[in-house]
Amino acid sequence: MSLNFDMGAPAAALRTQLRDLVKDHVPADFLGAFTDDPADLDVAQHFCRTLAAHELLCLAWPQEFGGRGASVWEQTVVREEMWAHHEPRGAQYMGVNWVGPIIMRHGTEAQQRMHLPPIACGEVIWCQGFSEPEAGSDLASLRTAARRDGDGWLVSGQKIWTSYATMAQWCFLLARTTKAEKKQQGLTIFLVPMDDPAIQVRPIRCMMGPHHLNEVFFDDLRVTEADVLGTVDDGWSIVQEVTSFERVGIARYARCERLLAAAPTVLGDRWDELPAELRGRWVRMLTHCRRARLMAYRIVELQSTGRVRPGDAAAYRIAVTKLDQDSAEVLMDIAAAVAHGDPRAEWFLAEVEDHWRYSQASTVSSGSIEMQRILLSRSLLAAAK
């Protein structure tokens, strides 16, 4: 008995179309947009515009916002194919997966007119101003504050780990607007341009390459009511929606499965010489890929009905984090047996090394795995009452 993940003929045709576009527009040795080579970012930006021209970038968005009104399952196909091929959309997945949908839900008509068309066209990059030096996993403890000044606010503070801040045009910024009894209260979301002189970005070098980690400083950044997303002091409710979208928006299992499936072909006759224990771990990882895919599909269905809960997203996040790390270890052991010199082998080795590096960071990205376990535990305890 096996699980059938077949989404039907239209989804299969969409996969073929996406793979053809990747083959035609993305170099075979592409390892993502965030390398030391600026040409890689150019590839991603060009590919985003190509997807947009084919109405594939924001496939499931409503037509009035620049999408094609497709199903969430077709958008899931896009997520899977993009992540399997090193996310050639670059940083655009953030705008497509959650910034845009959140603005659709909570933004004013003016905000929707300003922000949604550029995202749908692949012309703008967003960053997320959430984590701070003393408020990472405990985000509600943030210190960045917006103090009233006339008809607006002045924002001062620091964010850290801010991916894409050096290239982003806009920031989805969380700041404290009111001191409240509960730290989750009195928080507000602002949509702010990154070219404002009151914002300073300092890159943080890391093993994943440039653009992933940055410090961002706000020195009396002026914002107004027009920059507020949703309701003043009620930003935490939006944050909860963001995390549920963000944590399932990346189909990590797709890349794991692609690399695992490629291993026997890359090794050729050497595959049968691998220790039985290693091949057993390889099979187990493929099984875990299927499990993660099934969990992702369950949450996609919940999202489509508006019923996704923090515990659901946390359970998926835990599963894919473990899959990332465990599969990376298996793949590194397999890579040790690869014969160098074969172009396909070199591609595999580069992909595996990159996957391993990313897997080390997955423990803390998008909320640490420890915090995900706490969220899941709270959800299970609440359900048991």
Q: Where are the domains of the chain?
A: 9-90, 128-234, 251-384
Q: How crowded is the C-beta side of 190, counted as CA atoms within 13 Å?
A: 26
Parallel, antiparallel, or unpaired: how do β-strands 214-224 and 152-160 relate? antiparallel
Residue with tokens 């509960």: 182
Question: What is the average pLDDT score of the chain?
Answer: 89
pTM of the model: 0.87
Identify the CA nearest to 320 among candidates 352, 284, 349, 288: 288
- What DSSP designation does 338 have? P
Q: What's the CA gap between 308 and 336, in Å, rounded?
A: 41
Q: Which helix (H) or strand (E) holds 13?
A: helix 9-25
Best CATH choice for the domain 128-234 from the list 3.40.640.10, 2.40.110.10, 3.40.5.10, 3.40.50.2020: 2.40.110.10
Q: Which tens digit of pLDDT belongs to each residue from 180-234?
A: 989 999 999 999 999 999 999 999 987 766 677 899 999 999 999 999 999 999 9
Residue with tokens 């990205």: 365
Residue 241 catalytic? Answer: no
How large a percentage of the chain has pLDDT more than 90? 64
Annotated catalytic residue, options 80, 132, 246, 351: 246
* CA distances for 319 relative to 162, 280, 314, 373, angstroms: 24, 19, 9, 11
Q: What's the CA gap between 230 and 18, in Å, rounded?
A: 35
Parallel, antiparallel, or unpaired: how do β-strands 126-129 and 145-149 relate? unpaired
Q: Which tens digit of pLDDT belongs to each residue from 110-160?
A: 999 999 999 999 999 999 999 999 887 788 999 999 999 999 999 999 999
Best CATH choice for the domain 251-384 from the list 3.40.50.300, 1.10.10.10, 3.40.50.720, 1.20.140.10: 1.20.140.10
Q: What does the pLDDT read at residue 1?
A: 38
